[in-house]
Amino acid sequence: METRSLGNSGIQITPIIMGTWQAGKKMWVGIEDSDTIKAIRAAVDAGITTIDTAEVYGDGHSEQIVADALSDIRDKVVYATKVFANHLKYDQVIEACDRSLKNLKTDYIDLYQIHWPSGTFKTELVPIEETMKALNYLQRQGKIRAIGVSNFNRAQLEEASQYGRIDSLQPPYSLFWRWVEKEAMSYCVDNKISIIAYSPLAQGLLTGKFQPGHKFDPADNRAKNKLFQGENYQRAQEALNQLRPIAERHDCTLAQLALAWLIAQPQANAIAGARNAQQAVDNAKAGDVKLSVDELKEIDAIGRTVTDSIDDNPVMWDWN
């Protein structure tokens, strides 16, 4: 698979990235460690050499599973992980990074990201200057190679950039969830900040495998996803029916079409999770789908039939 520059860091990432939220098991149902390890390894074998995880995914379990899968080829892969919103004081950032290094069985993290802005989920407010001071220190030490932020809006991204180089923004972004395009994308383009989109398949909705009326286990985080509820879900089903003929023209799945559309957007790369090895291989094949300018416009218009009616809250889940 082709690689792209991560911001101005000099690090090369793949446009399709292996996501491992599900590897932590918490907030997911039916996940087995052995299947996840096989999926991660299959992703790398298929050309996806960038892996995204976080300390909060199963309280470090996801990071440990990544290490179990890839420690023997650490020099051939790029690790991206995150520090959570409750660990943003200076000493907490240092301690969290050391825990992640231990979990990942490595002496450096390629991309270290602030997972959510300070104050999110009723966490203590910490000045971004303090958090960035710790991240800059870790970078000088060689423990991290690049700094990123996740779930930041444009104003928060601009403020963080005052205190150090930000090389990536990780927002929720898919054909069915496009809030990042409203403000932050133009800033990322102007400042060469890579967009690393999470939930690029709208948590599986864009695969087309969920039928009208589908209900999730209450323990599954998708039970709270706005896209799976009411009229949003109905509009999504109608949009999927319009996307199917385009996928058929390219002899690809709906998921591959959605991923191909996303990585064709400015600065955009896609984090795609996988429960098993076949899903990981299928995700990698999205990198081979080449869409024309007219097709990109057609897909764009179909996506807007869903997104134009969604509220302005940038959080995809109804957690309140």
User: Token pair of 134, please?
Assistant: 């710790």
Question: What CA–CA distance (Å, rounded) separates 138 from 192?
Answer: 22
Which amino acid, residue 50? T
Question: What CA–CA distance (Å, rounded) separates 166 from 188?
Answer: 10
Q: Give me the residues paired with residue 317 across strands.
A: 225
User: Token pair of 288, please?
Assistant: 């081979």
The residues that are catalytic are: 57
User: Token pair of 66, please?
Assistant: 């990544």
Helix, strand counts (H, E) of the chain: 10, 10
Question: What CA–CA distance (Å, rounded) separates 219 from 195?
Answer: 29
Residue the block writes with tokens 């979990």: 103
> Which residue pairs, CB below 8 angstroms and at least 24 apart, start in 98-102?
98/143, 99/55, 99/60, 100/55, 100/60, 100/63, 101/143
Measure Cα distances from 242 to 236, 237, 239 in Å: 10, 9, 5
* DSSP SS3 for 149: strand
Question: For residue 92, which phi and psi values (nearest 5 degrees)?
Answer: -65, -40
